[in-house]
A and B are shown apart, each in its own frame.
Chain A
Amino acid sequence: MYDVQAIRQKFPTLQQQVNGKPLIYFDNAATTHTPMEVLDAVRDYKERFNANPHRGAHYLGIQATELYEQAREKVAAFINAPSPQEVIFTKNATEALNLVAYSYGFSQIQAGDDIVLCISEHHSNLVPWQRVAKLKGATLRYLYLTEDYTLDWEEVREVITTKTALFAIAQMSNVLGTIYPIRELVAYAHQQGAVVVVDGAQSVPHLKTDVQELEADFFVFSGHKVFAPMGIGVLYGRRELLESMPPFLMGGEMVEYVQEQETTFNDIPYKFEAGTPNVEGAVGLASAIDFLAGTSWEAIQEHEEKLTRYALERLQEVPHLKIYGPQAGRTGRGPVIAFTIDGCHPHDVATIVDQDGIALRAGHHCAQPLMNYLKAPATSRISFSLYNTKDEIDVLINSLQGVRGWLGYES
Chain B
Amino acid sequence: MNLSSLYTELILEHSRNCENKRHLECATCSKRGHNPSCGDDITIELLMEDGKIVDAAFTGSGCAISQASTSMMIDLVKGRSAEEAEELSQIFLGMIKREIKTEEELELLEEAIAFQNISNMPARVKCAVLAWHTLTEAIQEANLHS
Contacts and interface: CB of A to CB of B under 8 A. Distances in A.
Contacts of A352: 3
Contact of B7 (A362, A377, A407): A407
B79 interface: no
Contact of B12 (A345, A347, A362, A407): A407
Contacts of B40: 347
B38 A363 contact: yes
Nearest to B9: A408
B6 interface: yes
B55 interface: no
29 contacts: A345-B61, A345-B62, A345-B63, A345-B64, A345-B67, A346-B38, A346-B39, A346-B63, A347-B40, A347-B62, A347-B66, A347-B124, A347-B127, A348-B63, A350-B123, A351-B3, A351-B6, A355-B3, A362-B39, A363-B37, A363-B38, A363-B39, A377-B39, A406-B3, A407-B64, A408-B7, A408-B9, A408-B13, A408-B16
Interface in A361-385: 362-364, 371, 377-378
Given A406-B3, A408-B7, A408-B9, A348 B38 contact: no
Given A345-B67, A406-B7, A407-B64, 16 more contacts: A345-B64, A346-B38, A346-B39, A347-B62, A347-B63, A347-B64, A347-B124, A347-B127, A348-B63, A351-B124, A352-B3, A363-B37, A363-B39, A364-B39, A377-B61, A408-B12
Nearest to A350: B123
Contacts of B143: none
Interface string B42-82: 00000000000000000001111111000000000000000
Interface in B1-43: 2-3, 6-7, 9, 12-13, 15-16, 37-41
B12 A378 contact: no
Contact of A347 (B2, B13, B16, B38): B38
A324 to B, nearest CB: 14
B64 A348 contact: yes
A378 B127 CA distance: 14
Nearest to B11: A408
Contacts of A378: 38-39
Interface in A219-248: none
Contacts of B144: none
A352 B38 CA distance: 15
Interface in A9-33: none
Contacts, number: 55
A296 B128 CA distance: 47
B97 to A, nearest CB: 20
Taking residues whose C-beta sits less than 8 angstroms from the other chain, chain A's interface range is 10 to 19
A351 B39 CA distance: 15
A269 B1 CA distance: 52
Interface string B109-123: 000000000000101
A163 to B, nearest CB: 33
Contacts of B41: 377
B42 to A, nearest CB: 11
B116 to A, nearest CB: 17
Contacts of A350: 123
Contacts of A377: 39, 41, 61
Contacts of B12: 407-408
Interface in A304-355: 345-348, 350-352, 354-355
Contacts of B38: 346-347, 362-363, 378
B10 to A, nearest CB: 11
Contacts of A406: 3, 7
Nearest to A402: B3
A354 B121 CA distance: 11
Nearest to A365: B39
B51 to A, nearest CB: 34
Interface string A384-400: 00000000000000000
A341 to B, nearest CB: 12
Contacts of B13: 408
A351 B124 CA distance: 8
A42 B31 CA distance: 49
A170 B15 CA distance: 37
Contacts of B3: 351-352, 355, 406
Contacts of A351: 3, 6, 121, 123-124
A122 to B, nearest CB: 15
A371 B123 CA distance: 22
Contacts of A347: 38-40, 62-66, 124, 127
A43 to B, nearest CB: 30
Contacts of A408: 7, 9, 12-13, 16
B145 to A, nearest CB: 30
B2 to A, nearest CB: 7
Interface in B103-140: 121, 123-124, 127
